[in-house]
Chains A and B, each alone.
Chain A
Amino acid sequence: MLEWDTHRYLEAHWAIPLYGSLFHTVNIRMAPEQIAYCINHAEDVVLFINEDFLPLIESIQDQLTTVRAYVLMSDKKDFRPETSLPNVYLYEDLLALQSPDYEFPEISENSRATLCYTSGTTGNPKGVVFTHRDLFMHAVSVCMTWGLYPGGMEFRANQVYMPLTPMFHVQAWGVPYFAFMMGCKFILPGRYEPDKILRWLHEEKVNFSHCVTTILHMLVFHPDAEKYDLSNWHVGLGGAKLNRQLAERAWELGILTQSCYGMTETCPAMTLGQLREEHLDLPMEDKISYYIKSGIPWIFSRVKVVDDDFNELPHDGHSVGNVVVRTPWCTHEYFREPEKTRELWKNGWLNTGDVGYIDPEGYLMITDRNKDAIKSGGEWISTLILEDAISQFKPVLECAVIGVPHPRWDERPCACIALKPGETATAEDVRAHLEKFAAEGKIEKWWIPDLPDGYFFVDAIPHNYIGKIEKNVLRQMYAEKHK
């Protein structure tokens, strides 16, 4: 299916896996040739297509080898598209013609339910499969963990729910499944438009969402944000790290945010910035320090940090190693890729490819996502900690730290910085800001990027569809500039 977050997507999320088929949620942000690859690799038989993606599918139809029928979907009542596709059905006509009586077959909990492709840094996209049992256990854990204590995320019955991470991406975290189970009111935003989302959040009194950090950023820094009452909104954040600046800005508007760390392969839950009993009476400023951590495991999730020989590292707050995980919902397979599956599950644990440490309180801190880490003079520099420090400098809208080649140290950090509209700041100003952090012991002094090449001012920081910063694009931009 290629679709925005609509009622039709929700209908298909039930119907297709429950009649025993595998539901491929196509990642609409991929390039057309990648989409063709995924559809062929998955051997999709029927494609459900929102009219907005019709030109895209028409442009690749000659490459599609397994599709037998196309079902077109639109919000328009009198939708009669002209198309070059063969075997076309219209979604609403199809439903109108069918009987409303249906008995779902008895299927095994180990049946494959969903498939979504994730693009790595190299090679073809990989199809991540989840079974009914995976989705079931994930939903049970997420439901219980978010409901653990009062005053936190508190996702409960009869709340008003709006998804803000797309339904094609890890089934919108599986939240639609259990939001329905708990009798929540759904407000489905379709294609994401910040102006309208803000209005619906206010008018419909939405009090729960999962969201990617870029969308939250767009909403809370929107010029109209303060005109709306967002004060009961609880938001779980994924896609990229929730930084303090964003969490504090959200709280100014009364929005409670919590970092959720995960990846497609983990369905996506692994850990979350969850408070413990002893944190409940802390002032908000201190609670935020916990809310923005990668956090402690969701119920049933087991996470550890290991060295290159797979020895577990101590929870001392500074031993950095590879993050590995076991849960009752992690994917068992990359679709038809046994070699890549074995690599993912090396040593019997799911290898996330991310690096981090666990502190004495048991909270995981991811210091770098896959491939973003910087090694300078043989020592790791955490880009995420540096980014967090730089983003607390007021004129900074957003920043990303990349590693750039250095003749003596192999690599040095470079801060790519986008300033807020109307603000000015120089490399020296940013450096002075960081020196204060170093003096307070929050970052290492040698992590501070060098003048002048360690500071790269850009108009905007590039993001991919799920809100992850595209550091490879920034590295290219940097290379262009210093050619």
Chain B
Amino acid sequence: METIGYQYQLTLRSFLDYGLIYAPNQVIKYRDELQFTYLEHYERVKRLSNARLIWE
């Protein structure tokens, strides 16, 4: 059957996207050592995603 519209896929993407919409400046703290905002965290996620090209 022909698909009309958009078949929204239930992937983890939705959780990541909504956190960035709702609380982009919220923080992720790691022990007493480091702190990132959600936006900074997202940037690191994207850098890590690009790194896959090295071994693929």
Contacts and interface: CB of A to CB of B under 8 A. Distances in A.
16 contacts: A11-B48, A14-B16, A18-B11, A18-B12, A18-B13, A98-B46, A98-B48, A98-B50, A100-B43, A100-B46, A104-B13, A113-B11, A177-B15, A181-B16, A183-B38, A186-B28
Contacts of B28: 7, 10, 185-186, 188
Contact of A7 (B10, B41, B51): B41
Interface string A1-41: 00000110011111101110100000000000000000000
A139 interface: yes
A113 B55 CA distance: 19
Interface of A: 6-7, 10-15, 17-19, 21, 45-46, 68-69, 75, 89, 94-102, 104, 106-109, 111, 113, 132-133, 135-137, 139, 157-158, 177-178, 180-190, 196, 200, 204
A14 B12 contact: yes
Contacts of A102: 46-47, 49-50
Interface in B18-39: 18-19, 22-23, 26-31, 33-34, 36, 38
Given A95-B51, A177-B12, A185-B27, 18 more contacts: A7-B28, A7-B36, A10-B28, A11-B44, A13-B12, A15-B45, A15-B48, A46-B55, A75-B33, A89-B51, A94-B51, A101-B50, A107-B11, A133-B10, A135-B12, A137-B10, A157-B22, A158-B26
Contact of A109 (B11, B16, B22, B50): B11
A11 B41 contact: yes
A177 to B, nearest CB: 4
Contacts of A177: 12, 15
B31 A183 contact: no
B49 A132 contact: no
Contacts of B38: 180, 183
* Chief secondary structure at chain B's binding surface: helix
Interface of B: 9-16, 18-19, 22-23, 26-31, 33-34, 36, 38, 41, 43-52, 54-55
Nearest to A190: B31
Shortest 10 CB-CB distances between A and B: which pairs?
Answer: A183-B23, A102-B46, A136-B10, A132-B11, A98-B50, A180-B19, A181-B15, A186-B28, A98-B47, A109-B9
Given A104-B49, A113-B12, A133-B10, A95 B44 contact: yes
Given A7-B34, A189-B31, A109 B49 contact: no
Contacts of B51: 89, 94-95, 97-98
B31 to A, nearest CB: 5
Contacts of B47: 94-96, 98-100, 102
Contact of A188 (B12, B26, B29, B45): B29
Contacts of A106: 9
Contact of A12 (B27, B48, B55): B48
Given A7-B28, A190-B31, A182 B16 contact: no
